[in-house]
Amino acid sequence: MVLPFISLYIESLGNFSDAYVQNWSGWIFAITFVSAFLFSPIWGRIGDKYGRKRILIILAIGLGLSVFLMGYATTVWQLFLLRLFMGIVTGFIPMSQAFISTQTPKEIAGKVLGTLQTGSITGTLMGPLLGGVLADAFGYASTFKWVSLTVFLSAIIVFFGIKELNLRISEDDSDYKSYSSKEVILHIIRKPVLLVVMLISVLVQIAHFSIQPILSLFVAEIHGPASIAFFSGMAFSAAGLGNLLMTRRWGRLGDRIGYIKILIFLLFMAGIVYLPGAFVTNIWQLVVLRFLLGISIGGIIPVRIAYIRQEAPLSMQGEVLGYNTSLRFLGNIIGPALGGALSGFFGFSSVFVVTSVLLIISGVIMLVTWYKHEYSGGHSHSFSASRH
């Protein structure tokens, strides 16, 4: 809800030059991802050890508090430090993914995580629209306070509405043993397909975020300045809508025919859909391409998490998903910087071309690794063999 007007809020804190506002907007936007990148695995590990419900409540309260206090910020530094704190406590969604995946049998993990992803995307779509309406009606400071209420509400819902069941949803003893951080990292490294699935998280997020900061400028270039906010919002939301329609279906398909096969297909599809963006001449072509991109990117997150659910013992899943989240945040940091630099030096079209190439390279790496280690019978069970 607050992301669309962060830069406007900074402007309202004093009489600053445009360059100052743009610079600080970048830092204040990015710092949350930097601290989240560092803290995600730590929260994952604590959740594995002490139960995920408690951690969900702590994170929701921390997040609510940081957003609430932003409404009282009077200097850019205060806002920066609050966004930094927000990053430390921002693991609610990955923690809920770990929570849900450990309460779900492997066979239907894709469908269930696809449903969760649908909720997360709906929030992403609704947030900026709601935030814009509230900010226009009540001002920026009040909007932060309203937003914090919704976060506190989720803490209350988790506290009263969720029971963490200690289900024995698998017969495998390795699911219930406790692991050191070193063992968790070794487990990931010894499974080449799992390692590549996690590393590709970075590339996918770079691809997804490379266009975000410059999308409204690109819309202005192809459409002109008339109703720019509305058309930028539409181009943003088109991807979310595609995401929403297909996420659950991709997850279900992954349950049926294999997560990695779906992942390879989606990476190639996203790469192919991204490329024509370099040649669009009107806003509607862009909206259609963004919708198709949403359809392909939408399945990548749930099938990736369902695959991790399948390959990592239950008692280390929070930490493994924490590393996966860290890698995603790393992509969130690199993506906008790369997109901004490319568009500055080579024009908007270059961002689409480079992103398309990145996604296709990801697809090729995934395909080769899967073919070598899983498809051709080289299943990497060396770890479990050495454990038992």
Predicted confidence at residue 252, as pLDDT, reads 86
pTM of the model: 0.76
**CB-count burial class (<10 Å; 0-12, 13-18, 19+) for 159:** middle
Higher pLDDT, 165 or 289: 289
Helices (H), the chain: 6-12, 18-50, 52-70, 76-88, 92-102, 109-138, 140-161, 181-190, 192-210, 215-223, 228-257, 259-274, 283-311, 317-346, 348-370, 382-387
pLDDT one-digit tens code per residue, 254-278: 889 888 999 999 999 999 998 998 8
Q: Is the pLDDT of residue 87 over 50?
A: yes
pLDDT value at position 306?
84
Model pLDDT for residues 202-230, shown as the tens digit of each residue: 988 888 778 776 676 777 777 776 666 66
Q: Which residue type, as a one-letter code, is found at position 186? A: L
Spell out the domain ranges in the chain.
3-162+174-387
pLDDT band at 382 (very low <50, low <70, confident <90, very high): very low
pLDDT at 169: 52
pLDDT at 43 over 70: yes
Structure tokens at 378: 């080289």
pLDDT digits (tens, 9 = 90+) for 111-122: 887 787 777 777
Q: What does CATH list as the number for 3-162+174-387?
A: 1.20.1250.20
pLDDT, tens digit, for every residue of 166-184?
A: 655 555 555 567 777 788 8
Please choose, from the candidates 312, 296, 292, the residue with its C-alpha nearest in 3D space to the C-alpha of residue 250: 296
Is the pLDDT reported for residue 385 higher than 60?
no
> Looking at 4-8, 250-254, 308-312, 384-388, which range is the least confident one?
384-388
Neighbouring residues of 376: CB distance < 8 A, sequence distance ≥ 6: none
Per-residue pLDDT tens over the stretch 9-23: 887 888 887 777 777
Q: Using 50, 70 and 90 to split pLDDT, how confident is the model at 380?
A: very low
Q: What are the φ/ψ torsions at residue 39 (nearest 5 degrees)? A: -95, -15
Which range has highest mean pLDDT (22-26, 115-119, 190-194)? Answer: 190-194
Those residues whose C-beta lies under 8 Å from the C-beta of residue 119, and which sit 6 or more positions away, are none
C-alpha dihedral, 117 to 273 to 308 to 98, nearest 10°: -20
Q: 122-125: long-range contacts at Cβ-Cβ below 8 A with a sequence spacing of 24 or more?
A: 122/244, 124/240, 125/237, 125/240, 125/241, 125/244
**Residue range 312-348, pLDDT digits in tens:** 887 787 788 888 888 888 888 888 788 878 877 888 8
pLDDT tens-digit profile of 56-71? 999 999 999 999 999 8
pLDDT band of residue 363 (cuts 50, 70, 90) is very high
Measure the CA dihedral 281/282/288/293, to 10°. Answer: 50
pLDDT range class, residue 353, cuts 50, 70, 90: very high
The predicted pLDDT at position 383 comes to: 39
The C-alpha atoms of residue 295 and residue 302 are separated, in whole angstroms, by 13
